[in-house]
Structure 1
Amino acid sequence: MTDQSSERNSKPVVITRPEKQAHALKVRLDAFGIANSVLPMFDIGPLPQASDYAVLDAALRRIDELSLVIFVSPNAIDAWFERLAYLGITRPLHLGLAGMGAASRIALIEHGVDPQITPLIFPRNPNKTDSETLLDELDLAPLAGREVLIVRGDSGRDFLADRLRAAGVQVNQAAAYQRIAPPFDAAMQGRLQTAIDADSAWVVTSSELLPRLLEWCRRLGGEALVAKMQQQLLFVPHIRIFEKAKELGFQQLIQTASGDENLALAIQSHYERTN
C-alpha cells in the first residue's frame, strides 16, 4: 500500500462513472492509498416508457431461437438479467454470451453464469476491447442465417450489427437502459472546478463523456478552463476513448487494459513511477 506521503504527492483521481459503477474501482484505489473521488457524469436508468422495451421483450420471449447474445457493457448485462427476471424467462444455459472486456466477464459470473457450461466470447487482447476486436473472435460462418441479439443502451455504434448483417447474420439490436446526464447545477460546477484546480487524474470509461466534459468546462470557465482540462491526465481503458480524447485535444493520456483491477493497477504503477 502507498504511504501517506506518497498519497499527498499523487494527483487525486476522479472517477467519472455513476456512484454504483464506480464503487469497485474506488475500493481498489482506496486500498492502494490513492486519493480519489467520484464525479458522476452520467447515470444509468430504465428506459422511459414500457413500450421502449418492445424489441428486447420480443427477443427474450423467443430466447430459445437465439444463437448468441452480445452485450456492449456491464450495464447491458445487468439490465438484461433484470428484464429476464421481470418477464419470468429462464436463460438457456448453453446460449452463447459475448461481451467487450473484463468487467463484462465479471458481471456475467456475478449473475451466475458458469463459463464451464455457457460459452463466453470476449476479445483476447485486454488492451483493445471493442466491437472490432470482438468481431475477430466470432466464428461468423455458423452464425449465418441465425439470430443474434445485441443488448445495448439507448444509443451507440452500429458497427458490429452492420458487419454481422453483412455476413448473413440476423441481428436484433435492443435497448435495455438509458444513460442520463446529470444536471450541471451549482453543486456539480463546484465539484468540477475543485477537481480541475487540483490537477486531477481522470478515469474516463466512455468516449461519450468527453465532449460533455469539455462543454461543462466551457460553460463554467470559458476556453481557459477547457485548455486547463485538456492538460490533465486521463486514464482510459479502450482505444476508442483514447482516440476520441486525442481528437478533442487532450494531451496526457494513458490507455489501460479493461476492468477495474487493470485500471487500478495501471494507476498505481504510474504513481509509483512518478512519485
Structure 2
Amino acid sequence: MQAPAVIITRPPHQAQHLQALLEKAGRSTIVFPLFEIEPISENAALDQALRDLASFALVVFVSPNAVDAWFQRLASAWQWPAEVAIAVVGAASRQALLNYGIDDQHVRIFSPSNTERTDSETLLTELDLPALKSKKVLLVRADSGRDFLADALRDAQIEVQAITAYRRVTPTFDASKRQDLQAYLNASCDWVITSSAVLKTLLNWCAQLDQPDAVAKMQQQHLFVPHFRIAEVASELGFKHIRLTASGDEKLLLALQSPL
C-alpha cells in the first residue's frame, strides 16, 4: 500500500530541505504553508546590534528565522567575531548557521544536548550563567513568543537586549486553500508541524469549511512534531495521533519512514 502524502506546513523556502529528503526516500510531499515569515525591513535596533556585536558575550537566536533575519542584513564578506558565543535551541537553527558558514570551528555554539527535548529551558541548562553575570546578551526573536529565556537570564543578573527581527504572519484562507485543505482531510495525510501556532490555524480553518466533521477529521490526522511543547499543544487541542521526533529534518525523515 502506498504511503500517504506528507504535508509540510512551513513556508516554501524552509520546506525545501525536508521535501528533498522525503522525495529522495520515495515519499510524495505537499507544501501547504500555514505561516509566512516577514522580515522587519526598517529595523534600527537590529542594525545597531549588528554594529555593536562585539559588546555582547552571547547572541541567542530563537529560531532559524532569527538566524536568517540577522545574516541577510550583512555583507557577504562579514565575519562573526570568535569571542562572541552563540546559543540556539535546535538542530534546524544550527543548520541555518551552517548555511552562513558558522559552525563550532568558528565560534562556541551552545544548544540543548538532549535532542529529544529542545526548548528554552533545556538551552538554559547548557549556559554558564555565573560567567555571564553582569555581561550583555542579545536575544534575536520574533514579534511573539515566550519570554522565559529573557526573564531567566535577567534573574541571573545578566543584561538582556531583546530585538524583534521578524514577524510570523498567517496566510489568507482563500478559496484555493479551502479546496486544498478539504482534499487533504479526505485523503488522510501525514502532517509535519513545526510550530504550535499552526495547530490553532488548522483547526480554525477547518471550522470554516462546509464540512461538519472537518475539525474532527483534522484531529484524526497523523502529526509529526519535532518539539515536545508542540506535542503538548496538539494533545490539548484534541489531536489523537502525534509522533514526537527529535529535532532536525533528518529525525523527522526517520520518523516518517517508520509506522506510527
Q: TM-score band (shorter)?
A: over 0.9
Query: Out of 23, 27, 50, which is 2:20 matched to?
Result: 27
Q: Aligned with 2:113: secondary structure?
A: coil
Contact 2:57 2:83 in 1 (8 A): no
Query: How many percent identity over aligned positions?
Result: 50
Cα shift at 1:175? 1.1
Q: What is the identity, as a one-letter code, of the residue corresponding to 1:209?
A: V
How far apart are the structure 2 equivalents of 1:85 and 1:159?
Answer: 32
Between stretches 57-66 and 189-198, larger displacement belongs to: 57-66
- Spell out structure 1 runs of 4+ moving beyond 6 A: none
Query: Out of 91, 114, 117, which is 2:106 matched to?
Result: 117
Q: Aligned with 1:182: secondary structure?
A: coil
How far apart are the structure 2 equivalents of 1:202 and 1:114?
Answer: 31
Instruction: Please tell me whether residue 264 in structure 1 is matched to residue 257 in structure 2.
Output: no
Q: What is the identity, as a one-letter code, of the residue corresponding to 2:120?
A: S
Task: Extract unaligned runs of 5+ from structure 1.
Answer: 1-5
Cα shift at 1:61? 2.1
Query: Structure 1 residues 221 and 133 mapped into 2: Cα distance closer, same or farther (>3 Å)?
Result: farther
Q: Aligned with 1:150: secondary structure?
A: strand
Superposed counterparts of 1:202-217, under 5 Å: 202-217=191-206
- Aligned equivalent of 1:147: 136
Query: Out of 23, 40, 43, which is 2:36 matched to?
Result: 43
Query: Out of 138, 151, 176, which is 2:165 matched to?
Result: 176
Q: What is the identity, as a one-letter code, of the residue corresponding to 1:59?
A: A
- Aligned equivalent of 1:249: 238
- Aligned equivalent of 1:188: 177
Query: Out of 214, 224, 241, which is 2:213 matched to?
Result: 224
TM-superposition CA deviations, 1:251-275 (whole Å, max 9, x none)? 10000011111101111122xxx6x
How far apart are the structure 1 equivalents of 2:199 and 2:114?
Answer: 24
- Aligned equivalent of 1:237: 226
Q: Aligned with 1:85: secondary structure?
A: coil
Q: Which has the higher helix share?
A: 1
How far apart are the structure 1 equivalents of 2:81 and 2:182?
Answer: 49
Cα shift at 1:104? 1.0
Instruction: Please tell me whether residue 133 in structure 1 is matched to residue 126 in structure 2.
Output: no
Q: Aligned with 2:203: secondary structure?
A: helix
Q: What is the identity, as a one-letter code, of the residue corresponding to 1:43?
A: E
Instruction: Please tell me whether residue 106 in structure 1 is matched to residue 95 in structure 2.
Output: yes
How far apart are the structure 2 equivalents of 1:28 and 1:72?
Answer: 24
- Aligned equivalent of 1:13: 6
Give the number of aligned pairs: 260
Contact 2:22 2:253 in 1 (8 A): yes
Cα shift at 1:57? 2.2
- Aligned equivalent of 1:81: 71
Contact 2:103 2:109 in 1 (8 A): no
How far apart are the structure 2 equivalents of 1:45 and 1:147?
Answer: 27
TM-superposition CA deviations, 1:23-73 (whole Å, max 9, x none)? 1101111011112211011111222x61xx232222222111100001111
Contact 1:98 1:120 in 2 (8 A): yes
Contact 1:201 1:232 in 2 (8 A): yes
TM-score by length of 1: 0.90
How far apart are the structure 2 equivalents of 1:242 and 1:223?
Answer: 25
How far apart are the structure 1 equivalents of 2:129 and 2:115?
Answer: 22
Between stretches 55-64 and 158-167, larger displacement belongs to: 55-64
TM-score by length of 2: 0.95
Q: What is the identity, as a one-letter code, of the residue corresponding to 1:38?
A: V
Q: Aligned-residue CA RMSD in angstroms? A: 1.6
Q: What is the identity, as a one-letter code, of the residue corresponding to 1:124?
A: S
Contact 1:67 1:148 in 2 (8 A): yes
Contact 1:94 1:117 in 2 (8 A): no
Cα shift at 1:201? 1.1
Cα shift at 1:222? 5.7
Cα shift at 1:107? 1.3
Superposed counterparts of 1:55-66, under 5 Å: 55-66=45-56
